[in-house]
Amino acid sequence: MAGRNVKLLRVERSALADNDAVARALRRRFREAGVFVVNVIAAPGAGKTSLIVRTIEHLRGWARVGVLEGDIVGNLDAQRVLAAGAYDAVQINTGGQCHLDASMVEQALSRLLLEELDLLFIENVGNLICPTHWVLGEDLTVCLVSAAEGHDKPRKYPEVFAKSDAIVLNKIDLMELSGFDRSEFVRHIRALTEAPLFELSCRTGEGMAGWTEWLWARVRRPVGPMPMG
């Protein structure tokens, strides 16, 4: 037998290169449609839908906001954001998958009035682990945690904080009740990232203005002055 002709191929590519390519195509599509896209990642119960609902309320009259709601099953969240004034919302049921991937977002766009939106929130499946690997063509990734979850989240799930463009700490009205050590939280966040940290309460509305103003400044930059909604 002749020796096998074995060769070493240098690859040096992300194992998720296929998803990355679909996400790049989505990004072009979002740019063409003039829509700013925010991927919201958080654990279940941190207040993803509440943050989106509150942001929609703050931007009422300024922006047409759409939402893609990622969930294992059900359409409760889509109903909630529509009731709050979302211009359009589509529920994506992953059927068990713990994260959204770019293909799921691409499929959902056929049911969304994308061209008519200024801002699109993609509410990822409640999970601080899996969604971090799957880019969706977003302009911003926002990691949301709540004071009630404890101050140790950055130490337990550092990757999602390191990758996010903004960190939102929700339920600050529960900080004392929850024994949340703010300095410990901030110290570990700052070891990971210089991304802005917004401390707020979706329930009381405290801190919401700072977050929405910052977001609004980012939304306006790529798409130009916003027409009134």
Partner 1 sequence: MHELAVAEQLLKLVEEEAQRAGARRVVAVHLVLGEHSHIAEEALRFHFERLTSQGSPAEGAQLRVRREPMRFRCLECDADYAPPAGDWRCPRCGEVGKLLDPGDELRVESLEVEMANTAYEEEEEEKEKEGGRGWPGET
The residue ranges that bind partner 1 (CB under 8 A) are 1-2, 4-19, 97-99, 101, 129-130, 132-133, 152, 155-156, 158-159, 162-163, 187-188, 191-193
Please name the residues in contact with 90: beta carbons below 8 A apart, sequence gap of 6 or more. Answer: 66, 67, 68, 69, 78, 108, 111, 112
Angle at the Cα of 130 from the Cα atoms of 25 and 28, rounded to 5 degrees: 10
Give the integer Cα–Cα distance in Å for 95 and 214: 34
Nearest to partner 1 of 155, 218 (CB atom): 155
Which is nearer to partner 1, 101 or 139 (by Cβ)?
A: 101
Task: Quote the least distance from Cβ 186 to partner 1, whole Å.
Answer: 11
CB 43 within 8 A of CB 127: yes
The structure tokens listed for 40 are 């919201």
As a whole number of angstroms, the distance between CA 61 and CA 93 comes to 30
Min dist. Cβ of residue 163 to partner 1 (A): 7
Q: Please identify, using beta-carbon distances, which residue of 93 and 173 lies nearer to partner 1.
A: 93
C-alpha span between 16 and 222 (Å, rounded) = 27
Report, in Å, the least distance between residue 106 CB and partner 1: 15
* Min dist. Cβ of residue 100 to partner 1 (A): 11
Q: Which is nearer to partner 1, 104 or 215 (CB)?
A: 104
Nearest approach, Cβ of 182 to partner 1 (angstroms)? 16
Asked if 195 contacts 164 with a C-beta cutoff of 8 angstroms, the reply is yes
Q: Judged by CB, which is closer to partner 1: 11, or 228?
A: 11
- Residue closer to partner 1 by CB (options 121, 161) is 161
Q: Please, what is the minimum distance in Å from the beta carbon of residue 83 to partner 1?
A: 32
Query: Cα 11 to the chain's mean position, in Å?
Result: 30
Taking Cα atoms as reference points, which of 229, 197, 228 lies closest to residue 214?
197
